[in-house]
Structure 1
Amino acid sequence: MSSSNNLQDLPKHYDPSETEDKWYSFWEKNNYFHSEPDDRESFTVVIPPPNVTGVLHMGHMLNNTIQDVLVRRARMKGYNTCWVPGTDHASIATEAKVVQKLRKQGIKKSDLSRDEFMKHAWEWTDEHGGIILQQLRKLGASCDWQRTRFTLEDELYESVIDCFIELYDRGHIYRGQRMVNWDPAAQTALSDEEVIHKEVQSKLYHVKYPIKDSDEFITIATTRPETILADTAVCVNPEDKRYTHLVGKKAIIPMINREVEIISDEYVDKEYGSGCLKITPAHDQNDYEIGVKHGLEIIDMLNADGTVAEVAEHYVGKDRFEARKLIIKDLKEQELLVKVEEMANKVGYSERTDAVIEPRLSLQWFCKMDELSKPALDNVMNDEIQFHPAKFKNSYTHWMENIRDWCISRQLWWGHRIPAWYYGEDEEDYVIARTAEEALQKAKEKSGNSGLTEADIKQDEDVLDTWFSSWLWPMSVFDPDFIKNKKGSKELEYYYPTQDLVTAPEIMFFWVARMIMAGYAFADEKPFSNVYYHGIVRDEQRRKMSKSLGNSPDPLKLIEKYGADGTRVGMLFASPAGNDLLFDESLCEQGRNFSNKIWNAYRFLTMNMEKGVEYSPTTEIDQNNVADKWMMGRIQSTLREMEDDFSKYRLNEALKKIYSLIWDDFCDWYIEVSKANEYGKNMPKENLERALGFFEMLMKMLHPFMPFISEEIWQRIQKRSADEALTISSWPEIQDKAFENSVSLFKTVQDQISSVRNIQAEMNLSPKADLNIIIKPKNADLANQLRSAEWIYRKLLPVESISFDVDADKPKASAASVVAGSEIYVPLEGLIDLDKERERIQKEIDRLEGFLKGVEKKLSNEGFVNNAPDDVVEKERQKKADAETNLEKLTKQLEEFKG
């Protein structure tokens, strides 16, 4: 063994700060995480790219810990493992941060040219970008850092433009005036998936609309009274007899006195509210459709920032919510406000800025979803792509079957600029091209005007939705030119499709569904085989952890406090497959304690080494040693169980199994039975070598979960070459079930020893008191097997004599128990004062009988049972049951001692 195994090199406590940076640098220096295509089977994972200017949060911690466990295990199982890291340019979030920074400097975005703003944006990205990738190294993420990608880098930029052009040429992309979700804070359109609907307490305002040349009026209810300024009609159901006489007449819009026609349409629900609707085509999807159907005027009364536009004539420049208060005040003064009701209402909020969304009519670019979504739905339903847990197929199916065209344009500058070029006044006067030169040539051909110059064409100012770039991620990271070339490179063919995608269900529609669509659209192949949806990290009150709530710990501080391994264990212990994680920092402490347990176990083994003696770890089993066969059998059964857990993405279950195997089986039992028989003597050399061999296997099984301490211990167990590493060693092979009988026998021995220890504790016997143990096995075959393990009883119990006799009778005054069909007797005469013990037992029986009478009296009182709270009554019943159980036990003991 190497000299590093000397005790003086091992501190008493494990210090992660002494190992984590050391081993991560070692792994990187030796290029263990880098992959190049070869003749091995690939195992590919692409990281869900975090925002380029983001920092590590608890969701990232969980997501990347899970990925790293899967990747490290696959690497050890012999796959050519490629985990591609990278970051997303995050159009809305990043631009908002840059705008905020400029505002602090007294600079408005509107004062800058596009090029000037982009310079600031790149400076921000260069300053903050990549921080999170450095932080992931602290977690132990074994990414192929040489393959790091950024969605806005030049090659991937071109790939996104190729994607747009290809889809446009296929007829999937179009430009049109549609109702969109408008974010007044970011001042951009959003897709449906970027809108979060929250149930909030709202007000429903009932407003009078006078009828022209009449004393009549119609009462209309609205939650958005500010949009009254853009009403262009009042609508009723044609079969509603209350209002048929008004159809065709004019209603007068309150406040602004605009005359609008009263129309009829089957869309109106006669039973809802007053049965009348105000129609505001520019600010409601349904109103827009009615407006188009009836040829109504469209008035957009809001500016891009959510303030009232000049066309509204009133409250111009006021914020929409301020205008709401003012219009209600004025309606009251003019006696046009009938009443105000409180109501629960679902309101759309921007997923990025948390601003209330405004439905707004806008000219945008859209991607048709009907054809693209079909293979993406079919291949999840037929399990070509498997969801884990499978329950998420239901929500996926519902969304895909009701999918709407995707609004892909964003009114931002940071992002992939839409490759559309305009050359005339008409909406159709545009061409799609990669460059200005190509656009000019196409514009000349389309317009028939050969005199056009570059000064006559202008590129679209909008950029593409961030998700429009990241839906290409599993393909473009390997071959950015795959769309342009109509064929993938050898590298893309080798690594694609990827194997596992690990993500949160909250981006199922943003990203997962769209990657599946893109995979079949451009590669005619699934992007991944499995999608594992982990839960959301929540606090003890079940709130999602976030900086804004202040309920999220700093992941880096957790790592500093508990070590990366301890923190990873804490995260995984709290994370049942597919369910939300209720984070509890004490679980990280448990992970740190586990690190110390492992360290102390290895330290104990080194203390048993003789100076100058070479030890060769081995897993060669002594066939006469039931403990060796049991330990190997437990390792093998755990490997099989972990294999099943990994196939079902039950990583926390797999971790619990290796945790128990190391802590309970190896440390608390195997090491104990392998010690020297005499106190103060070192463990026999052959025992120590087998213990080290088993420990080596255990570190391999542990490595995906706790990479740092497992590498540290593994490197110490025996001499290694300079470039050897646990992280690239082979995963233990699953052997046959030859040791199952030994596992069963040892389990019986464990249970019987534990039973004797319980007797020692219950009878207050001195731990050093020699026992005469009689075990009456259920059959002769078991008796013979137990005799072969007699040395274990003698090593772990203070035994004067022990017998295994199927015909044994129970001795007088003995404690007894039954374990797995075998009876165990421990004679107590000479170990305790039987008279005093009988006296003690009788007193306890008397006390319990008195207590029981009191409880029974209370429960027989109908007044108490009928009037007391249910939990109080239930507690009394439990007291009665516990007292009866204890009485029965004590009575039996007293009877035994009388014998």
Structure 2
Amino acid sequence: MEPKLKEKSWDLKRELELLETWDRERDSGLSKGQGVREGKVLVIDTPPPYMSGRPHIGQFATYAQMDMIARFHRMRGYTVIFPWYADRNGLPVEVEVEKRLGKRMQDVPREEFLRLCKAQLDEYEREWVKVLRRWGISAEYIPNGTDSVEYRTMTQATFIEMWNRGLIYEAERPTIWCPRCMTALAEPEVEYREEDTHLNYIKFKVKETGEDLIIATTRPELLAATVAVAYNPEDERYGRLRGMHAIVPLFNQEVPIIPHQSVKKEFGTGVEMISTFGDTRDLAIVNELRLPIRIVVTQDGKLKGTGKYDGLGIREARERIVKDLEAAGLLVKREPLRHTVPVCWRCKTPIEIIVTREYFVKQLEFKDKLLKVIEDMKFTPPEYKKMLTDWVNSLEFDWPISRRRYYGTEIPIWYCVDDEGNARPILPNPGRYYRPWVDEPPSEVKEKCRGGRLIGEDRILDTWFDSSISWMYASGYTRDKSLFNAAYPDGIVRPQGYEIIRTWLYYSVLRAMHLFGKPPFRYVRINGMGLDEKGEAMHKSKGNVIDSLAPAEKYGADAVRFWAAVAGRLGYDFRYSEHVVKTGKDFTTKLWNIARFISQFPEVNDGYELTYLDRLILNELNRVARVYIDGLSGFDTYEPTMAIYEFLWHIFADHYIEAVKSRAYNRDGAFTEAEQRGAWFTLHRVLDYSLRMLAPIMPFITDAIWRGIHGRSIHGEFINDPEGYDEAMGKALRLFMNLNSSIWGFKNKMRLSLAERLNAVVYAQPELEPLKRELESMHKVSFSFTKPPSEAVNIGEGIYILMPKS
């Protein structure tokens, strides 16, 4: 018999050939599957990545998992919408261009800066798309992504709608600010890092008694902004000072001495200065007690209103003030301190809190409604729901959405300025993309400003304001309302990392709640971060970034996808492992060998008789299929992939194929023709269903095998529900495998060939008696299923052997 698969081994070059084949079939419309089943729609709200060079392998592992989910659901009869596009807005590309230019954005003409940003993004995006294709990721690539006219039009339309509903307002208030990026930040855009500094013990003077009051602070540069000093009301050392006043050193302002529960008695001296604004805690106290505001930090991070310290940067001012305190005898001591510093999420500059005029989205008054919306969402793993609800409960500010940056979606507002200089905001009709800083106002805006002068807004929206409606974009809100209505919200899944729960996920929920009163999607799939082989996060600065293309070129995309599927359990961080990639490569070799062996036998659909062995392996196939379908239906890749791997290699190949070979060939006529045909049927049945299950995970080799045997692509096939599973037969299969392993182990111990005939009797469990003919043909030994005699030797669990006396 000649195998239909002619090549003796799997050649990685076939992956490249298949990429070309898939491209041709996609162009000719042959890759659309076999139709759509009623009511089955799945939209994958694919995370649009920031463009910052070629992606590392951890990032692409998560996209490979999404591809597995997409391919699986297609083969289950779903209409699958799986877009891939880049997040091209916001700080990341601006900071990158600024670094390349050696200039700040504000020092470059706006149009030129935008052109440089776009060119940089295009370069990075080409790298991503190259890797997408090589990994066999079947997403629909959408060029330009979040900076496309379509996306920005949608973003602005939602801004206009929320404005009209009174959900967006403008106000001048203290805002988290990055002096390096020169823009406001939202709470989730603040990260924290450990930093070495000093705790400075400084003498204040109590006005009423003249005594010294020692206060410890890490920010002496904010002495001029001090508006109160505070102690814990339970601290008996300072209760007598209540109602008195302190004189701030160097700047001599008089401030009240107040009790406040937030002061830590054990920190420093137990007395703290309250400044506007050292941190969000200071801000909360100032707001709570309606204390006066002293602003001493400018938008670019320099001091103002501080006399001789004006114009100094924060760090320089800090050291200068410490020296002056020391010279005046006002510095008691300095202690080294390692503490947590809030920094900008993108450039890592320490943040400040300054008063600016910004646009805000209301969120604080909607906390209860947000929590109810979150309750209607299903999280995998479920424990991550609490992370989101904890974040909602911790919010202290409304969301500032205006940014003094260039590359992003413009705020669609013109201001009608009258003769007295009063400015009234006017919004255009939704449905177009507006650039108010350069575009001519539309007619409806001009109509509302007769006699006034129109000035276009030059700020842009927070990048999360754009990406928080990705689920609308993915599900066709602007292109196909019928699709959106069919998918929203039950047919949309959000796959994402846990590190952006408080940003991308939270803001998506907030926007959906405001726009629709419902969740943005029903299902949330949370994955961990990709780490290097030592378990460390991959960063360019560390030099530990593992390229996403090189392993695929060396071992094949299927091998790398195998690693991506089993790298870690859903929700947990996962490590890159070249060993597991090699295991994936070995698995492709094993799979090809299995398929090539089976391809030599005819496929039969009648005239066959299944033996007990056939029924055992088909029963096990049903069990594995159930694990597989349940797992991927729940958006997991680990359990399904491990189940197929263990089944194909360690059950089907190691045990069933070895046992069925003699019947499949039937060279000595020991089996009937019907039994022989039963072997052929079972071999093809298991291979067929196993290839279908593996196709979403390892799309290259499965397609090559399917084409070699059936002459068409596997990716248009369906995965149907398995039949039921019989526990008793499952137990019998385990007994069968244990028996095989026991005999093989005994022969190896005796240094005998596994094919060598053994003059002995093996005693096994009665449940295995229906397998007697195939066992004797397989192991070349006699079997008995009765109680073993006392002289028989135990060679495995419940397995004995009786050798003839020499």
TM-score (norm 1): 0.79
Cα distance in 2 for partners of 1:460, 1:512 equals 28
Q: Which residue of 2 aligns with 1:403?
A: 395
- Aligned residue identity for 2:562: V
Computing the radius of gyration over CA atoms, which structure comes out larger, 1 or 2? 1
- Aligned residue identity for 1:669: H
Q: Which residue of 1 aligns with 2:128?
A: 132
Q: Which residue of 2 aligns with 1:837?
A: none
User: CA contact under 8 A between 1:208 and 1:220: conserved in structure 2?
Assistant: yes
- Aligned residue identity for 1:771: L
User: CA contact under 8 A between 1:102 and 1:109: conserved in structure 2?
Assistant: no
Cα distance in 2 for partners of 1:37, 1:671 equals 36
Q: Which residue of 1 aligns with 2:519?
A: 526
Distance 1:371 1:334, change over 3 A: closer
Return the match for 2:118 from 119, 122, 125.
122
List aligned pairs for 1:748-827, cutoff 5 A.
748-765=735-752, 767=754, 770-776=757-763, 782=767, 786=769, 788-799=770-781, 802-806=782-786, 808-811=788-791, 814-817=792-795, 819=797, 822-827=798-803
Q: Which residue of 1 aligns with 2:43?
A: 44
User: CA contact under 8 A between 1:19 and 1:709: conserved in structure 2?
Assistant: no
Following TM superposition, by how much is the alpha carbon of 1:702 offset from its aligned partner in structure 2, in angstroms?
0.7
The alignment of Structure 1 onto Structure 2 pairs a total of residues equal to 785
User: CA contact under 8 A between 2:89 and 2:409: conserved in structure 1?
Assistant: no
Cα distance in 2 for partners of 1:177, 1:267 equals 28
Distance 1:828 1:354, change over 3 A: farther
- Aligned residue identity for 1:142: S
Q: Which residue of 2 aligns with 1:251?
A: 247
Cα distance in 2 for partners of 1:302, 1:97 equals 26
- Aligned residue identity for 2:73: A
Return the match for 2:577 from 566, 579, 584.
584
- What secondary structure is seen at the aligned counterpart in 1 of 2:588? helix
| 192-201 vs 258-267, greater mean Cα deviation | 258-267
Following TM superposition, by how much is the alpha carbon of 1:47 offset from its aligned partner in structure 2, in angstroms?
0.8
User: CA contact under 8 A between 1:772 and 1:827: conserved in structure 2?
Assistant: yes
Q: Which residue of 2 aligns with 1:187?
A: 182
- Aligned residue identity for 2:455: K
Q: Which residue of 2 aligns with 1:660?
A: 646
Q: Which residue of 1 aligns with 2:702?
A: 710
Cα distance in 1 for partners of 2:184, 2:637 equals 39
- Aligned residue identity for 1:798: K
User: CA contact under 8 A between 1:566 and 1:595: conserved in structure 2?
Assistant: yes
User: CA contact under 8 A between 2:15 and 2:700: conserved in structure 1?
Assistant: no
Cα distance in 1 for partners of 2:464, 2:37 equals 32
Q: Which residue of 2 aligns with 1:159?
A: 154
User: CA contact under 8 A between 1:366 and 1:408: conserved in structure 2?
Assistant: yes
List aligned pairs for 1:884-895, cutoff 5 A.
none
Q: Which residue of 1 aligns with 2:723?
A: 735
Return the match for 1:643 from 629, 635, 644.
629
- What secondary structure is seen at the aligned counterpart in 1 of 2:522? strand
| 497-506 vs 708-717, greater mean Cα deviation | 497-506
User: CA contact under 8 A between 1:444 and 1:450: conserved in structure 2?
Assistant: yes
Return the match for 2:687 from 683, 695, 700.
695
Following TM superposition, by how much is the alpha carbon of 1:48 offset from its aligned partner in structure 2, in angstroms?
0.7
| 31-40 vs 625-634, greater mean Cα deviation | 31-40
Distance 1:238 1:271, change over 3 A: closer
- Aligned residue identity for 1:507: I
Cα distance in 2 for partners of 1:745, 1:478 equals 48
- Aligned residue identity for 1:227: L
User: CA contact under 8 A between 1:45 and 1:501: conserved in structure 2?
Assistant: yes
Cα distance in 2 for partners of 1:268, 1:727 equals 61
Q: Which runs of 5+ in 2 are unaligned?
A: 429-433
Following TM superposition, by how much is the alpha carbon of 1:424 offset from its aligned partner in structure 2, in angstroms?
4.9
List aligned pairs for 1:335-350, cutoff 5 A.
335-350=329-344
Following TM superposition, by how much is the alpha carbon of 1:222 offset from its aligned partner in structure 2, in angstroms?
0.8
Cα distance in 1 for partners of 2:227, 2:727 equals 81
- Aligned residue identity for 1:815: V
Q: Does 1:302 align with 2:288?
A: no
Q: Which residue of 2 aligns with 1:110?
A: 106
Cα distance in 2 for partners of 1:491, 1:84 equals 14
Cα distance in 2 for partners of 1:290, 1:387 equals 36
Q: Which residue of 2 aligns with 1:363?
A: 357
User: CA contact under 8 A between 1:33 and 1:143: conserved in structure 2?
Assistant: no
List aligned pairs for 1:331-480, cutoff 5 A.
331-370=325-364, 372-381=366-375, 384-404=376-396, 405-424=398-417, 429-434=423-428, 450-453=450-453, 457-479=454-476
Cα distance in 1 for partners of 2:744, 2:50 equals 57
Distance 1:628 1:26, change over 3 A: farther
Distance 1:714 1:624, change over 3 A: closer
User: CA contact under 8 A between 1:234 and 1:260: conserved in structure 2?
Assistant: no
Following TM superposition, by how much is the alpha carbon of 1:391 offset from its aligned partner in structure 2, in angstroms?
0.9
Q: Which residue of 2 aligns with 1:511?
A: 504
List aligned pairs for 1:262-341, cutoff 5 A.
262-264=256-258, 266=260, 269=263, 271=265, 273-288=268-283, 291=286, 298-306=293-301, 308-341=302-335
- What secondary structure is seen at the aligned counterpart in 2 of 1:311? coil
Deviations 1:673-701 (Å, cap 9, x if unpaired)? 23247999799984456534432221111
Q: Which residue of 1 aligns with 2:535?
A: 542
User: CA contact under 8 A between 2:204 and 2:246: conserved in structure 1?
Assistant: no
Cα distance in 2 for partners of 1:668, 1:807 equals 28
Cα distance in 2 for partners of 1:772, 1:197 equals 73
Distance 1:450 1:759, change over 3 A: closer
- Aligned residue identity for 1:829: K
List aligned pairs for 1:70-149, cutoff 5 A.
70-103=69-102, 109-145=105-141
Cα distance in 2 for partners of 1:495, 1:67 equals 18
- Aligned residue identity for 2:4: N
- What secondary structure is seen at the aligned counterpart in 1 of 2:540? coil
Instruction: Pick 1 or 2: higher relative contact order, CA cutoff 8 A, min separation 6.
Output: 2
| 38-47 vs 551-560, greater mean Cα deviation | 38-47
Following TM superposition, by how much is the alpha carbon of 1:248 offset from its aligned partner in structure 2, in angstroms?
5.6
User: CA contact under 8 A between 1:158 and 1:480: conserved in structure 2?
Assistant: no
Q: Which residue of 2 aligns with 1:29?
A: 27
Deviations 1:85-137 (Å, cap 9, x if unpaired)? 2211230001112222333xxx6533333333223333333443353233212
| 163-172 vs 753-762, greater mean Cα deviation | 753-762
User: CA contact under 8 A between 1:176 and 1:366: conserved in structure 2?
Assistant: yes
- What secondary structure is seen at the aligned counterpart in 1 of 2:329? coil
Cα distance in 2 for partners of 1:176, 1:43 equals 41
Following TM superposition, by how much is the alpha carbon of 1:451 offset from its aligned partner in structure 2, in angstroms?
2.4
Cα distance in 2 for partners of 1:6, 1:653 equals 30
Cα distance in 2 for partners of 1:427, 1:251 equals 41
Following TM superposition, by how much is the alpha carbon of 1:751 offset from its aligned partner in structure 2, in angstroms?
1.7
- What secondary structure is seen at the aligned counterpart in 1 of 2:170? strand
Return the match for 1:209 from 199, 204, 208.
204
Deviations 1:686-726 (Å, cap 9, x if unpaired)? 445653443222111111111111111111113x2xxx421
| 161-170 vs 107-116, greater mean Cα deviation | 107-116
User: CA contact under 8 A between 1:372 and 1:521: conserved in structure 2?
Assistant: no
Q: Which runs of 5+ in 1 are unaligned?
A: 483-487, 610-614, 831-899
- What secondary structure is seen at the aligned counterpart in 1 of 2:308? coil
| 277-286 vs 436-445, greater mean Cα deviation | 436-445
Q: Which residue of 1 aligns with 2:431?
A: none
Cα distance in 1 for partners of 2:598, 2:264 equals 83
Cα distance in 1 for partners of 2:607, 2:721 equals 16
| 631-640 vs 222-231, greater mean Cα deviation | 222-231
Cα distance in 2 for partners of 1:167, 1:360 equals 26
User: CA contact under 8 A between 1:283 and 1:361: conserved in structure 2?
Assistant: no
User: CA contact under 8 A between 2:208 and 2:245: conserved in structure 1?
Assistant: no
Q: Which residue of 2 aligns with 1:842?
A: none
